[in-house]
């Protein structure tokens, strides 16, 4: 699956919908493997830790908030081993347009709170 392809865009749209639904459930987190399984059930082959997954997660956040003013959907996706996002979440969170402050834990917790508030009534 190549970024920019029709297949990629369909997988991206499916991912955004899955993550929005989780955000509406008080910012419930999902493990990479579970997200991969959910996408597979919708007809999208996205391995949990390789291939297009990191690009789709970054693009899901960018699609939802191109200017960085809204919370990052990718904050909901966590590693099974730690229950926290991978480094692939924190790098974009610190870059433009997001520029999120704080150490990793503070940044992530604040993002989850922002997601829960933003999606509470949607």
String of DSSP letters for 78-115? E-TTTSS--HHHHHHHHSTTT---S-HHHHHHHHHHHH
**Tens digit of pLDDT at every position of the chain (122 positions):** 888 899 999 999 999 999 999 999 999 999 999 999 999 999 999 999 888 999 999 999 999 999 999 999 999 999 999 999 999 999 999 999 999 999 999 999 999 999 999 999 87
Within a domain: residue 78? yes
Range of the domain at 43: 6-119
Question: Rounded to an integer, what is the distance from CA 121 to the centroid of its chain?
Answer: 20
Within a domain: residue 69? yes
Within a domain: residue 57? yes
Within a domain: residue 1? no
Largest CA distance in the chain: 38
For 29, phi then psi, to 5°, come to -85, 160
Within a domain: residue 49? yes
Residue 15, phi-psi category: left (phi > 0), alpha (psi -120 to 50), beta (remainder): alpha
Measure the CA angle with vertex 99, ends 15 and 101; round to 5°: 110
Helix (H, G, I), strand (E, B) or coil at 77: strand
pTM of the model: 0.94
Helix (H, G, I), strand (E, B) or coil at 33: helix
Domains in the chain, number: 1
């Amino acid at each position: 699956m190549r970024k920019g392809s029709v297949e990629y865009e369909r997988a991206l749209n499916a991912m955004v919908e899955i993550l929005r639904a989780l955000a509406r459930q008080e910012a419930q987190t999902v493990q990479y493997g579970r997200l991969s399984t959910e996408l597979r059930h919708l007809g999208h082959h996205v391995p949990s830790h390789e291939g297009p997954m990191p690009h789709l997660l970054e693009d899901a956040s960018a699609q939802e908030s191109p200017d960085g003013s809204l919370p990052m959907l990718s904050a909901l996706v966590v590693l099974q081993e730690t229950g926290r996002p991978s480094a692939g979440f924190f790098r974009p969170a610190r870059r433009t347009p997001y520029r999120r402050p704080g150490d990793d834990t503070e940044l992530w917790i604040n993002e989850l709170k922002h997601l829960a508030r933003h999606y509470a009534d949607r």
